[in-house]
Amino acid sequence: MPEFIGKKLNPQEALCAKHFVYMVYAQELNWLPATDNPSNWMVKEDEQGSFFSDIYDIAAAWFGVFAGDELAAAGRFIEPLHNKLEVELYQEIPDFLKNEQVRRIEINRLMVRQKYNNSPELIVLLQTMYKYIIASTIDFISINIFLYFIKILIYVLLKADKEV
């Protein structure tokens, strides 16, 4: 099994992660966002092919896990844009979280390359993100992920907390 290295991505690597998210969502899962969505989530093209973009790109920090030179997993966290997380464009959140004094982020676009589904890259990704987050003064984290990731997330947070 290859060694998995997690890190915050530079702008060029973040663009690769956006291509990766497109590959998984559009090509593997056969899903595209609705054309009229509040996040303005859309498909764009560049010399590398198709990728997803949305209004939160400017407020995003991308993270990835590499197996050698290959991006094995990726995800981002976003800060509020106009005092709203992306999830707030689709559903209401409690009023106390809307306070501008509450530093909050949203984790979304978590992806794992299919051939690594049975390896620890998601755990490495979440640990990498968690270590970066706890170094900041974050009060609230909204996690926009599938429910089966919750068990993994709890494990990762407890393990990472012991290592800090």
Host H or E run for residue 62: strand 60-67
pLDDT number for residue 71: 93
Percent of the chain with pLDDT strictly greater than 90? 36
Gap between the Cα atoms of 120 and 92, Å rounded: 33
| Phi, psi values for residue 142, rounded to 5° | -100, 130
CB count within 10 Å of CB 17 equals: 23
Parallel, antiparallel, or unpaired: how do β-strands 104-112 and 140-143 relate?
A: parallel
Whether pTM > 0.75 for this model: the answer is yes
Domain 4-163 has CATH 3.30.1360.70: no
Q: Helix H segments across the chain? A: 11-22, 121-134, 148-163
- The single-letter code of the amino acid at 34 is A
The angle subtended at Cα 27 by Cα 24 and Cα 29, nearest 5°, is 65
Long-range contacts from 79-83, C-beta under 8 angstroms, 24+ separation: 79/104, 79/105, 80/104, 81/55, 81/56
Per-residue model confidence as pLDDT tens digits over 102-124:
788 888 888 888 888 777 888 89
Residue 50 pLDDT more than 90? yes
